A and B are shown apart, each in its own frame.
Chain A
Amino acid sequence: MTDQKYDDYLLQSLVTGDESGIREIYKKIYPKVFKYVCKHDGTEDDAKDVMQKALLQLSVRAQVKEFSITSSFEGYFFTTCKNVWRREVKMSKSRVTNDAVIDLIHEEKEIALAAFEQEKWELFQEKLQEISENCRKVLKFFFNKIPYAKIADEMDYATENTVRQRIFKCKKKLKEAIQSDSRYNELKEL
């Protein structure tokens, strides 16, 4: 089997629920997920949970014919798993910090929401590729909360104010790119 065919086979196994293909995905990718989750303060049970949720989420999304993966299956799926873990961490944090009672939602709803969020995240990542490399670099620093002074240093800008201006311009460009994409409208509230 060529790589592409093999990847198609793995994805297709999730569309139909074919156990032999799903088994391959476990064998190939679970050990990495386990390592990743454990490295990021999770347990083995967390890793199992992440794996299950990511598989289910991808299965749901892949039910539509237009769905396709442009990178390798393994790379794509591993990214999904990382995001599922980020989601779990965020959820448990908000459970701890929020006094408000968080509605217990059904598992199906939760997977549906996670799939929706993943889709949006992918769209946003794709849009990031449409702005200039320089903008992308500045924004990466900015969104990951690197102080202006440090950004000025790294990117060779004279003052923090120049950085501010640059960030604003880049953010605006990125915002426009996202807004003009029709898929973004589908990912909003009705």
Chain B
Amino acid sequence: MNNQEKEIEAYLRGEMRGEELRAFEKEIATDSVLAREIALYREMNVLYDDADWEITDSNIENRKVNEYETFLKSEKGRSIANSIQNVEDEYFDSKPSNQMRRFIVYVGSIAAILVIGLFVVFQLNKNFESENLYAEYKNWSDLPSLTLRNSNTDLAEAEKLFKQEKYKEALDLFLKYQSEDKVSSVNSQVVLYIGISQLELDKNEDALQSFRALLHSDSLDATKAYWYISLAYLKMNQVDDAKEQLQELIKDPGNYKYETAKKILKKLK
């Protein structure tokens, strides 16, 4: 180690004091090579420390920083930021965390107990409200996400509104999408969302019509309609009609909600 190297070491380790320190600082101020060297050693100390990070002064004048900033503020940069935000929203909407899942199972079992409780009440005073069943069994969170298969932004927006329970706005967008959709005459998933939005908005007859359209489509999801029509009738207190639909549903064990339908039928008897 030569003399200057020794000085640099002492300086970096903070071992310089008083007169010696002042003299060395003066040297740094006048010797740009020395100054750069010290700066680099300092950078190394931070950059190679796994527990540290070098934060750049925000007033730095550097071509790259400027370019990056300009890009981020450009239309393209903003649109990419938007896409990332969209994906994030959707990812966290459709993916409940483990804790959430446990919570849902927990709430689900409480719901089941409640239903059994309600059943007992029903047996006792024959005052069972089918609307309660509707409330217990409607679970819109298990609807398939629309945006997974289609990146149409209107649909994504509509689904978001739906999840925020803004059914009116969601319905408008879904209907708009459906009227513009030339590819498939019936997009079964969208029809489901339309029907449920109508149901939530108390447009029960419209909802029934939507579900029936699904039932008569050649979509793979057509038989799901039995379930949703049953729910609609439960909501409307038309227990006999609900039963009829549920009977249709349990004719094929492969149908959506087969087990649940059997359970409800038992309770309704």
Check A168–B52 contact: CB distance below 8 A.
no
Size bracket, chain B contacts: 35 or more
Task: State which residues 30-74 of B face A: CB under 8 Å.
Answer: 37, 40-41, 43-45, 47-56, 58, 60-66, 68-69, 71-73
Answer yes or no: B135 CB below 8 A from chain A CBs.
no
Interface code A122-149, partner B: CB below 8 Å = 1, 0 otherwise? 0010001000000000011001110000
A187: contacting residue among B9, B62, B68, B90, CB under 8 A = B62
Q: For A51, what are the chain B residues with a Cβ–Cβ distance below 8 Å?
A: 88
Stretch from A1-9, A69-77, A101-109, A152-160 forming part of the interface with B: A101-109
Interface code A165-190, partner B: CB below 8 Å = 1, 0 otherwise? 10010011011001100000011111
Q: In the bound complex, how far is the Cα of B136 from the Cα of A94, in angstroms?
A: 51
Count contacts on A: residues with CB < 8 A to the other chain.
62
Check B87–A90 contact: CB distance below 8 A.
no
Answer yes or no: B111 CB below 8 A from chain A CBs.
no
Check A19–B151 contact: CB distance below 8 A.
yes
Interface code B70-104, partner A: CB below 8 Å = 1, 0 otherwise? 01110011011111111110111000010000000
Q: In the bound complex, how far is the Cα of B68 from the Cα of A20, in angstroms?
A: 24
Q: For A19, what are the chain B residues with a Cβ–Cβ distance below 8 Å?
A: 83, 86-87, 147, 151
Check B88–A48 contact: CB distance below 8 A.
yes
Q: In the bound complex, how far is the Cα of B77 from the Cα of A63, in angstroms?
A: 10
Nearest-neighbour CB distance to chain A for B3, whole angstroms, equals: 13
Check B81–A56 contact: CB distance below 8 A.
yes
Closest residue to B149 on the A side, CB-wise? A20
B37: contacting residue among A105, A175, A186, CB under 8 A = A175
Q: In the bound complex, how far is the Cα of B73 from the Cα of A86, in angstroms?
A: 25
B58: contacting residue among A20, A90, A105, CB under 8 A = A105
Closest residue to B80 on the A side, CB-wise? A17
Check B72–A128 contact: CB distance below 8 A.
no
